[in-house]
């Protein structure tokens, strides 16, 4: 049987850099965070948006910040990982900590340890 456990210390640091990317207002500093967290061909998709590549990711974050001024993304769970897959919970919160949107991200980690793909899901899982 294959061992499916993964030491999440390194990938948690990458995920925390990814979360910091969403909260960084300065586009130059945000570009540095993106380069640290994302593979060159990294791509993000959620029900309302998609972006592929570092420049597009930077633009997507700018758009979100414009739509939700004064809000920030916080990670609300540990990072679960096996093989090259990850998942974690998050919330988009206002200045008082009230959640505007909650969800989970599911992703693939590239061979170099950076993010290759992230799929964002909003809200709780649908009922059976």
Nearest to 42 by CA among 123, 102, 112, 122: 112
The answer to whether residue 1 scores a pLDDT higher than 80 is: no
Q: What is the pLDDT of residue 126?
A: 92
Is residue 89 within 8 Å of residue 75, measured between CB atoms?
A: yes
pLDDT in tens, 48-80: 999 999 999 999 999 999 999 999 999 999 999
Nearest to 89 by CA among 114, 65, 106: 106
To which residue do tokens 């899982």 refer?
125
Domain 9-122, CATH class in plain words:
alpha beta
Q: What percent of the chain has pLDDT over 70?
A: 95
Residue 16 — left, alpha, or beta (φ > 0 → left; ψ -120 to 50 → alpha)? alpha
The answer to whether residue 33 scores a pLDDT higher than 60 is: yes
The answer to whether residue 83 scores a pLDDT higher than 80 is: yes
Q: What percent of the chain has pLDDT over 90?
A: 92
To which residue do tokens 């974050």 refer?
61
- Which sequence spans correspond to the domains of the chain? 9-122
The answer to whether residue 30 scores a pLDDT higher than 70 is: yes
């Amino acid at each position: 049987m294959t061992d499916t456990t993964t030491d999440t210390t390194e990938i948690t640091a990458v995920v925390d850099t990814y979360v910091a990317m969403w909260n960084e207002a300065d586009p130059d500093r945000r570009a540095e965070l993106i380069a640290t967290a994302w593979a060159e061909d990294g791509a993000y998709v959620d029900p309302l948006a998609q972006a592929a590549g570092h420049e597009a990711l930077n633009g997507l974050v700018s758009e979100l910040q414009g739509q939700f001024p004064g809000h920030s993304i916080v990670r609300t769970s540990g990072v679960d990982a096996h093989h090259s897959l990850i998942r974690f919970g998050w919330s988009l919160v206002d200045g008082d900590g009230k959640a505007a949107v909650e969800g989970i991200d599911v992703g693939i980690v590239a061979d170099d340890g950076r993010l290759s793909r992230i799929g964002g899901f909003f809200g709780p899982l649908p009922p059976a």
